[in-house]
Amino acid sequence: MIDECLVAEFRIEGDECPLARATAQVDVVIDASAPQLRDDGNVLLHFSAPPNDELAEVLDSDPNIRYLHVTRGENAWTYRCLSKHPCVVHRLVNVGFLVESMRYHDGGATMSGAVVGYDVLRGVMETAGQTVGIQLQRVYPLRSEDDEHQSRAWGLTSPQAESLRVAHEMGYFEIPKAVTAAEVADELGISKTAFLERLRRAQSSLCSSVFGQGI
């Protein structure tokens, strides 16, 4: 049995992925599930973003996007489609990277996932180093199983739970604040905008869990 399980975060720049291109044109943050690669090389995408007609139009006009379906909710729109563009993420998946979340913004993407064992981590990092546009942001031990179950119980993704933990430990929620949002974002290795978006979504999930949906 392998004792070490690590969380790794990578930043992807310069990829021709339709979601990356769309966020280069539209100022929006896209949260995506792990892309599913088909045998024919096409990729199934499932993602969400704040309501935005321009984003839907940009995606619908992209020649690499097919069968786009949009479910319009009050606070977020959910998208499902097929992409004809091969995703560089699968190069890391092929050597053992378990994708848990992806976030696209400003023409790039940040992805977070698990790596089981340091030997696998070395293989993932070597592959990332050989893949243009992928850079390792940070690596840290996976939190205990109890903490993971607790995060899921509150409806939090791993990046959201990690952002809350780091913000709390740094004193972001103290009155007055001990640190700024930019300082917490630097510690997490993400942009201030991405941190505040994670925080907003985490707080929304917590409120929904405590007070019920629609409150």
15-56 pLDDT, tens digit each: 788 999 999 999 999 999 888 989 998 999 999 999 999 999
For residue 61, CA distances in Å to 36, 66, 104, 119, 176 come to 22, 10, 18, 42, 47
Residue listed under structure tokens 């092929």? 94
Each residue's pLDDT tens digit, 150-201? 455 456 777 888 888 888 888 888 888 889 999 999 888 888 888 899 888 8
For 64-97, write each residue's pLDDT tens digit: 999 999 999 888 899 999 999 888 888 889 999 9
C-alpha of 89 from chain center: 12
DSSP label of 154 = T
Fold of 145-209: Arc Repressor Mutant, subunit A (1.10.10)
CA atoms within 13 A on the CB side of 166: 22
Locate the domains of the chain by residue range. Answer: 5-141, 145-209
pLDDT over threshold 60, residue 10: yes
Condensed to tens digits (0 to 9), the pLDDT of residues 99-123 reads: 888 899 999 999 888 888 888 888 9
pLDDT confidence of residue 215: 37
Q: Are 21 and 108 in contact (CB under 8 A)?
A: no
Residues 6 or more apart from 53 whose CB is under 8 A from it?
A: none
Task: Answer yes or no: is pLDDT of 146 > 50.
Answer: no
